[in-house]
Structure 1
Amino acid sequence: MELSEEWKSFLPVGSSTVSPLHLSNSPSLPLGPLLFNPNPNSLSLLFSSPSLLPSLHLPPHLLPSRFLLSSHPPSILPSTASSVASLFSSPNQNDAASPFLRNRLHLLTYPHRPYALLFFPAGDNDHKLAFFTLRFKDSRFHIQLDTNHDVFYASIGSAHRILNISINPIADFGFTVNDDDDDDPSRVIGYLLATTLYSVHWFAVRHNQILDRPSVVRLGGKIFKTCPVVHACWSPHILEESVVLLESGQLFLFDLESCGSDAGFKGTRLRVPWNDSGESKVWLSCEFSWHPRILVVACSDAVFLVDLRLKECIVSCLMKIETLRRYAPDENERFLALSRAAPDNFYFAVASTSVLLLCDVRKPLMPVLQWMHGIEGPSFMSVLSLSNLRSHSREDAFKLASESGFCILLGSIWNCEFNTFCYGSILPFRKGSVTSKINPAICAWELPFEINLSGHECHCGKCLLRKEFSKDALPEWIDWQLKKEIVLGFGILSNKLAALLCEPDENGGFTLIRLSSSGRFELQRYHASWAHARDLEDCHDQVLCLDRHLLYPMSDEKYKFPKNFIYLKLDYLYSYASGRLTQFLVTKLEKICKYANDEEPFCAEVHELLCEKLNSCGFGQLRSCPAVTSVFNDIKLPSSLHEVALRRLWADLPMELLQLAFLSHAKCHEVVGNLDNNRVALEFLAVPDLPQLPPFFLRKSSTHSNDDIVGPIIPFPVLLVLNEFRNGYSNLEGGEFSVEAEVGLRYKEVMQVAGEIAVSAFGPTHLDEHAVSLAEDGEETWVGSSKPRSFMLYRPVSFKSTAADHVQEKFVYSDTNYDTFISHVQEKKSTKQIESVGQEIFDDLSPVALRFDAPVKKLEPLSLKAYDLLKRQMSKWQESFDSYKDFCIQSRF
């Protein structure tokens, strides 16, 4: 079927096997070789310095959800990781890649001398503009540095990181062929602007003929205090003009001639009517179009043409992201990069998440050409003439194609991936072709192809496989880019300088200068080829050098302290995590029992303290099966029923095992001395003075004395298995005993008793059908059951919940082992005001009983006055907080 040129442009190259705007090499279409391979023999090191390593304080590659416990089994505690993580970042967002979105190296060639300047950010925070000169002499390039054999520096006047650099060369100004006779010893060879997050700075690049060295003079800057800078670019029409785009969509025009140092860099705000949608858009970039007062501005979902020639600005839409939905149906599709394009300033190129478009401002909403680029997160784009990439050729057979063809270089610096997209006119290769009135049938020349900018990586199957295995071997919180030497910036040397360096290639090529993450400036020649060079013999071993290249701040100072490594055996933890703790301990204990002594370790001090704690909570010395109600007497602060079940199990353990779990702090030093002379800090919390059951919750950490009793030093699952082994139960050998099952049985028991003795704040308690009621058991009868219940059951709910959520059970956590809490409610006492009262005066401020870990003191009249003020403020808050009032009504407090 014959399609018009307009319809052909809607079929992206790469979306189908046959594209109507795709030309392949054939005898009738002598396009020439369009693949570019690095020449390993041309690789040379220009300059290297550890001080040029990028100053990048990169966070680990971790999503916020990793820092929170997962709410899915088998987590220890519940968490709202999935809901909280979505508030901070997108799953596809990578903060570590943000410093690598733009090219860090920029070249400025002298007009009539074999010199070139290389600019890049440097300094402790990349806040300085660094540069050095590349000079061709004696058939090779030489580096010109300052008197300290370091690169030249120019300050931007602040300590903020330079994010982008843009150079505007002066092609025919500043130098003449016989410039030595000129009266001006310092000529301007170009202008430069550097942007930070909130500022833009302008510089003039000069060359001092007397000192024969370059200099960069700061002309001024502009700080935008309320809005970040998105993009800044030079005008291709007026040398001294530039435009700045802010994150809010505001545009500012600056003219270096009118913005002198005395007048200040105020700029002119361009009144662009973005309507109501301008403030909510994510702005991307801006470029000058064919007229000095016509701009192309891109945001994440549209590209606009801004016409400022008249008094009132006119804004029209050139491209919408909805246009790409047919070939890019992903909802996250958005524009990512914008650039001016050839053959003239009417064209521009824009890249989205999956599609690259070549557009014409004279044909809105209708792309001239499209490609499916297949690059992950493209952020860099540059349009070059094919003659620059195939220069210095021995053959002239493809000269016509080189002069009329163009190439879009698109890629991601962070992902080390770059592709070239060649295009040009069908004419003059095909006679009698149908052309439109605007463009002479622009077509894609060959399919997109990858270009290896690192220059020394082998792409054979063996090396690619090793590379993927090396990536998988890294921990998930480390990006492989941080471990690999990547290209942070690059520039293509001009044709005149490249021709001085090397002999002509068969089909032409270009010379690349790159800045690597190891601080190396390298020069390498690329030649045009008919096929990719997949196998590079000298580069088989350079896949991932994980030990040499780290994109983290490095210090020149050597580590002064000795490095001692202590290896921990985590076999117990691994066995517990895999559900094999019982079998593992039984095997260990059987071996130990053969060599064990009859004498058991006994510490009278620890024994006396533990007996005192248990007796204070209602457990006598003879406790074959402690009453579950005594465990409830130990509840002083709100506790989950799972915690109460654990206390019950702790109280069931015999005294011999409890003494294994707790020891004197002085004994810790003896344990340290037995660990192969390597001192290990064994820090455990001290047993509190307040009467409570083990494992003694809510303890404060402090410096211990040798008289303190600390612990538990043995995990409870291990103690539980030891207790079963001590009792000689046979089901241990077959692995039938389960710590989780034992905890579950005690939890059901505690849940049943709690439902009988506590007031529920969320309606009738729904108990497990297998739970057994203890109401009829005489030994387990709740003391004083005829009195009002002094416990309250409740479940935490989100702060946005209502009273109806309690009935519908829309709770924060769905795990029934942890979502139910029990709290002791204090008894109502006389409210008569007495002269001196104690801490019990705070009981009527909260529905739960308050306990203070402090000596009992009486409150004096001045303290009572402060208490009255606190009580009034507390009451005012309680009356205005609806959720609290609903909670008190439900719990009948």
Structure 2
Amino acid sequence: MLRCNEDEILLFFPVGENSDLVGFVKLSKRKFKIPVVIADTGGDVFRAEESLNSRILQISVTSGGGGSGKSFVVGFLLASTLYSVDWFRVEISNPGSDLERPVLVHLGKRHFSHIVVHSCWNPHWAKESLVLLKNGELFLFHLESIAAIDKLPVKLEGTKVSVAWEGCKEGGWLSCDFSWHPRIFIVACFNVVYMVDWRLENSSGISVLANIEMFDLNHLVRNDRFIAFCKAGSDGFRFCVVTEYHLCLLDIRKPLMPALQWVHHLNNPRYINVFKLSELRTNSTEEQYKWASESGFAILLGSFWDCEFNLFCYGPSLPTPYGSVASRVSSFCNSLYAWELPSELCLLGNRCNCGNCLLKEDCYKTMLPEWIDWRQKEELVLGFCIISGDTWDCSEGFTLIRLVTSGRLELQRYFASWDFISVKPEESRKRLSSQIEDSRLRAVSNQKYKFPRRFKYLRLEYLHGYIYGDLSNVLIKKMQNIPSRTISPTQDRRELISEMLRSVGVHQVGSSPDLANVFSEIGSPMSIREIGSSRMWAGLPLDLLQMAFSNYAELAEVLLDQKKIGIQFLDVPNSSQFPLFFLRKPCNLSNKLPQNVQQGDGLVGPVLPLPLLLTFDDFDMGNHNSDLEENGYSSDYRLTHQCNEVLEVANVSLESCCDINGNHNVSLADERKEKMECTKESRTLFFYKPGAFSDQQDEPFVEDKTFSTFLSKVHEKKSTSISMKKRFGLEAFDDLCPVQVKFTPLSREKDSLVDSSPIEFSSEEMTQYNKLRNQFLLWQKDLKPYQDFCKAIQK
């Protein structure tokens, strides 16, 4: 919220298909008794002209500016995405006329190589802001330097605040803000709250205001951490921090000594803000509460997802008679006290808390399937702002404006009183005239959708069980409710699958192929995860592999809502290829075909994922219970163990075998982890890590080597005596790439993968090929990433 004047405010929120645009409306009471939403032409919300190209995660505003003539500056706005921050100037163009409208002017942008954790405005200087990154770096930005620039937006550089952090867990930064001085900052991470003194820009002094060990006296908080942080009051001396269990008020003048502390009993609260009680009890007519309103504060803490918010009130001690001992003590001891117990603040004012309604709500929650969160069926508040003042009819309370998931702006009036006030719902809760169509929980587009929206919910019990490590229990429950029946094996399918396994070196069905054969079949670069998964697919029992594949004749009976649906799976080709059974070309047929069209009996699939089959395999071996207890989740454990084995064997091979040119060779004679002997016929393998992984120093995720490490094979060297003009086959492409490339010819008649005779080129085709090849080699020579890649292979 940003105030334009006493009777007009601006409300800002993300809009757009990916919430990547700043949208806003004006709320005015200048000419009307009730607030009226002023929107853009056609009733749509005002929007910034430029998209931020990423989802907006935070919007912050500050007042200030001025001006006259055709535009009037009312403040500034910054919008943060995952890796960037944008700054805007908020103007009112043509003020006082019929053409008056709010405008956002894009001032500048800054991209970062690390995640933006938090950004805030300087309350001392209106055009200065602070940005905290996930790696702990602090940047200070000034907008004064671009005031006279005509060509906007500009790229802002900012000033880096050099700080040597100590004691903070890596990647655990939470928030930042300004303290009582414009060059003193408060920075919070998951386990420590720091004060950074940057008044001498050449050096930064840091001190600890709070740490998570302050709560070690309670056995419940051994694994506790700070999860929310904000400034308390405008003086910059007090701050609030929230843990999973506690709410704590801090004073920088007394570090490591909480001024106040509560047990909040809220589930994962991430929103926190501090208000003066005078803002929540405007123009109170009761004289006995006047002192409390002027001296007290209220901390609003809660969670939007659970829609639970509590008010924690605090302030000085009660007034005492002049000359008493308590009066003399209070003159030099400014202690703070918690006032009463926390009170609930319901953002959805139409919610009834009577016993009948609460019982119905609990019954409704238990009736929903376990994979559907009941909150996805409820109307949630996405954001809100609190308005106080005579103009907004906030006597004896305050007005709250909220944006809900249905896209509506709603106004709710709250009354502060010891007595129960009977107010009709239609009088206390009003729906504003504008509806925001770009709510993040709705399917949206830039154009109005002309057709009715119908949503279907899929039963994803198996996926839910796999994500939460409970797949085996889900399968056990399902099998108990399904009558037992045997699966009749198809002899043709068994023979086809067995033939495919033998073609890639699996001579004993049900056992994994030798790693030597697996390495020899690698063509283009494959991650360790892909190699391990392929080997596990090839090692599954034949009965399980039969369950994993089907044909379109069997899929013709698949119905959804009593209607046939078009299903496409991966076509399993007849030719021997690696990896087995996945990463295939989709079949160009569908089960939704006319009856006179022959669908064929070719295999398609897999129709069941690997974790499901591995869990079934554990059931057959009878060790699923012990595996789950000892290793957590059996299928993930087996796949991780398989990938580690592949990685270890490849590492041992590359370290132990080296030819005279320094190239690493792998012997394909044995799959054991022992040192392998090198032979002249051994094929050359190399490790490769894509630049997307190697350039990231502080990734937003924990790197898994099985995904980021690729293994590939260099093609065999051909004799240099062979003239290029005599090479009329696919081997002519070998010199263009250090990676061994396998070609699977396409049938020109059926456009499907089949075995065919080697392709040969005519002399005219080779002449044109040589011309293109020379141009391509020159391009490779000048391309630095490619040259670096070739050098990495030779190491």
TM-score range, shorter chain: 0.5 to 0.7
Matches for 1:307-706 after TM superposition, within 5 Å = 307-311=197-201, 312-327=203-218, 329-342=220-233, 344-429=235-320, 432-433=325-326, 435=329, 440-498=334-392, 501=393, 504=395, 508-530=396-418, 551-554=441-444, 556-559=448-451, 577-578=478-479, 679=564, 702=587, 706=598
Quick check: 1:219–1:261 contact (8 Å CA) kept in 2?
no
Report the alpha carbon displacement of residue 261 of structure 1 after superposing the two structures with TM.
4.6
| Change beyond 3 A, Cα 1:552–1:480 | farther
| 2-structure distance, mates of 1:195, 1:306 | 23
Structure 2 counterpart of 1:290, from 180, 194, 200? 180
TM-score (norm: length of structure 2): 0.59
Which letter does structure 2 place at the counterpart of 1:108? R
Matches for 1:106-145 after TM superposition, within 5 Å = 106-110=1-5, 113-124=6-17, 125-145=19-39
| 1-structure distance, mates of 2:486, 2:71 | 83
Larger CA deviation: 243-252 vs 203-212: 203-212
Quick check: 1:575–1:581 contact (8 Å CA) kept in 2?
no
Q: Which runs of 5+ in 2 are unaligned?
A: 428-438, 460-473, 501-506, 519-533, 590-596, 608-615, 623-640, 653-671, 673-680, 682-718, 720-752, 764-793
**C-alpha distance after superposition, 1:773-825 (max 9, x if no partner):** xxxxxxxxxxxxxxxxxxxxx9986245579x9xxxxxxxxxxxxxx9xxxxx
| Change beyond 3 A, Cα 1:202–1:687 | closer
| 2-structure distance, mates of 1:561, 1:524 | 29
Match of 1:194 in 2: 79
Report the alpha carbon displacement of residue 674 of structure 1 after superposing the two structures with TM.
13
| Change beyond 3 A, Cα 1:576–1:457 | closer
| 2-structure distance, mates of 1:268, 1:795 | 48
| Change beyond 3 A, Cα 1:436–1:483 | same
| 2-structure distance, mates of 1:236, 1:614 | 70
Structure 1 counterpart of 2:755, from 854, 861, 865? 854
Report the alpha carbon displacement of residue 441 of structure 1 after superposing the two structures with TM.
1.7
Coordinate RMSD, CA, aligned: 6.3
Which letter does structure 1 place at the counterpart of 2:88? W
Match of 1:304 in 2: 194
Report the alpha carbon displacement of residue 409 of structure 1 after superposing the two structures with TM.
0.8
Q: Which runs of 5+ in 1 are unaligned?
A: 1-105, 176-182, 540-548, 568-572, 590-605, 618-628, 652-660, 716-738, 746-793, 806-819, 821-828, 834-851, 863-879, 882-893
Which letter does structure 2 place at the counterpart of 1:557? Y
**SS of the residue aligned with 1:202?**
strand
**C-alpha distance after superposition, 1:571-629 (max 9, x if no partner):** xx99995368777799xx9xxxxxxxxxxxxxxxx99x899999999xxxxxxxxxxx9
| Change beyond 3 A, Cα 1:483–1:227 | same
Report the alpha carbon displacement of residue 448 of structure 1 after superposing the two structures with TM.
1.4
Match of 2:691 in 1: none
| Change beyond 3 A, Cα 1:448–1:699 | closer
Which letter does structure 2 place at the counterpart of 1:223? R
Match of 2:89 in 1: 203
| 2-structure distance, mates of 1:138, 1:561 | 36
TM-score (norm: length of structure 1): 0.53
| 2-structure distance, mates of 1:496, 1:472 | 45
Quick check: 1:512–1:524 contact (8 Å CA) kept in 2?
yes
**C-alpha distance after superposition, 1:72-116 (max 9, x if no partner):** xxxxxxxxxxxxxxxxxxxxxxxxxxxxxxxxxx24251xx4222
| 2-structure distance, mates of 1:397, 1:259 | 51
Which letter does structure 1 place at the counterpart of 2:125? I
Which letter does structure 2 place at the counterpart of 1:854? D
- Percent identity of equivalent pairs: 35
Structure 1 counterpart of 2:645, from 798, 803, 807? 798
| Change beyond 3 A, Cα 1:336–1:261 | farther
| 2-structure distance, mates of 1:712, 1:416 | 47
Report the alpha carbon displacement of residue 490 of structure 1 after superposing the two structures with TM.
0.9
Quick check: 2:185–2:197 contact (8 Å CA) kept in 1?
yes
Which letter does structure 1 place at the counterpart of 2:164? W
Structure number with greater Rg is 1
Report the alpha carbon displacement of residue 405 of structure 1 after superposing the two structures with TM.
0.8
**SS of the residue aligned with 1:155?**
coil
Matches for 1:700-715 after TM superposition, within 5 Å = 702=587, 706=598, 708-709=600-601
Match of 1:771 in 2: none
| 1-structure distance, mates of 2:13, 2:456 | 40
**SS of the residue aligned with 2:55?**
coil
Quick check: 2:73–2:89 contact (8 Å CA) kept in 1?
no
**SS of the residue aligned with 2:28?**
strand
Matches for 1:800-819 after TM superposition, within 5 Å = 801=648
| Change beyond 3 A, Cα 1:432–1:120 | farther
Which letter does structure 2 place at the counterpart of 1:242? S
Higher relative contact order (CA 8 A, sep 6+): 1
| 2-structure distance, mates of 1:491, 1:853 | 65
**SS of the residue aligned with 1:578?**
helix
**C-alpha distance after superposition, 1:438-474 (max 9, x if no partner):** 7522100011122101111112233223323333444
Report the alpha carbon displacement of residue 424 of structure 1 after superposing the two structures with TM.
0.4
Quick check: 1:108–1:167 contact (8 Å CA) kept in 2?
no
**C-alpha distance after superposition, 1:658-702 (max 9, x if no partner):** xxx999x8x879x879999965669899999799xxxx9999975
**C-alpha distance after superposition, 1:345-364 (max 9, x if no partner):** 32222222221111111111
